[in-house]
Homo-oligomer: A and B are copies of this chain.
């Protein structure tokens, strides 16, 4: 089955210490002619320096509008195995936790219906099954869904929410990222599977401002854990860090962005009212410093890739809110955000782009959040500003 192609270029990429994707494709190619043709076409791309994929057509499973990315080789005669080579997006578990048993089951099904190649995971978070044919899609869906797995999103829909490991292992998690992500994914099943939005909508949840899931850069809604109140300090541990050679002044105090810390007589003091909760000191002195006790989240909106007006990072909309099961307040505000976007956006306009065009005010008014200095880096520079009738009544 395998070895149909000579791949001198790709073979180069089996050398060296980093694990080789070429080796992976070859492994799959031993069992799958699709994977073998993928290898052949890829070698050709390496020679000619271009891809050979057509634009995807719309393929999918009954009742769903997304979850499968249609993909066809533009050289189907030369590489018949990948004439169809669709990817299937499967909702990953919150925090990407698996058991060997579950993963092996996933593999078994995939070997049966697909190329045997996967992406663990896609950039949005899905468990991506790489390469199958249109006729296999319903079977794949039946096999996975009957075992408790569902499809991820694609097209103008909610996309699979994703999160950091959070309380599953991390001492800094201020919110239950895993549970929030699970709950939101369940809440938005319809929006996930039946594209009816102006464009994609992504949600990512990070347990703290360290943001190990890149929420602030890659999600239309970024939920980031934080706290109110004082950073908890264990002065005995501070002394141990000093004892073990840490230059506390240079590494911690001097790098605190708000200059709200000081270190004297072997003790750290923090002026918490001035702390911006940036996480630096906590991250670098994890045994000595811990987040404050009143936990909650900051909601930020709008980040995306540069197409077409330049990249956006998410903007602070709600500086602090409690986020606790059953997450009613969170779900309500998300629905309200989406509603505004849905009503306001042109097709293929992300929420961040609309917000930039329309300004913050109509959005904040719609979702019922007051203007707050936390929402801006600095107030406006120009003297051109709008007044609404409601402003005059005050």
A382 — which chain B residues lie within 8 A by C-beta?
306, 310-311
Q: Is A386 an interface residue (CB 8 A)?
A: no
Complex-state Cα separation, A381 to B310, whole angstroms: 8
Q: Is A243 an interface residue (CB 8 A)?
A: no
Q: Is A384 an interface residue (CB 8 A)?
A: yes
Complex-state Cα separation, A381 to B311, whole angstroms: 8
Q: Is A373 an interface residue (CB 8 A)?
A: no
| A309 nearest CB neighbor, chain B only | B382
A residues contacting the other copy or chain, number (CB 8 A): 7
- Interface flags for A287-316 (1: CB within 8 Å of B; 0: not) read 000000000000000000010001100000
A347 — which chain B residues lie within 8 A by C-beta?
none
Complex-state Cα separation, A384 to B310, whole angstroms: 9
| A380 nearest CB neighbor, chain B only | B310
A17 — which chain B residues lie within 8 A by C-beta?
none
Minimal beta-carbon separation of A150 from chain B (angstroms):
34
- Interface flags for A344-358 (1: CB within 8 Å of B; 0: not) read 000000000000000
Complex-state Cα separation, A310 to B310, whole angstroms: 20
Q: Is A8 an interface residue (CB 8 A)?
A: no
- Interface flags for A180-199 (1: CB within 8 Å of B; 0: not) read 00000000000000000000
A383 — which chain B residues lie within 8 A by C-beta?
306
Minimal beta-carbon separation of A376 from chain B (angstroms):
16
Q: Which residues of A contact B (CB under 8 A)?
A: 306, 310-311, 381-384
7 A-B pairs besides A306-B384, A311-B381 with CB distance below 8 A are A306-B381, A306-B382, A306-B383, A310-B381, A310-B382, A310-B384, A311-B382
- Provide a sorted-by-A list of 9 A–B residue pairs whose CB atoms are within 8 angstroms: A306-B381, A306-B382, A306-B383, A306-B384, A310-B381, A310-B382, A310-B384, A311-B381, A311-B382
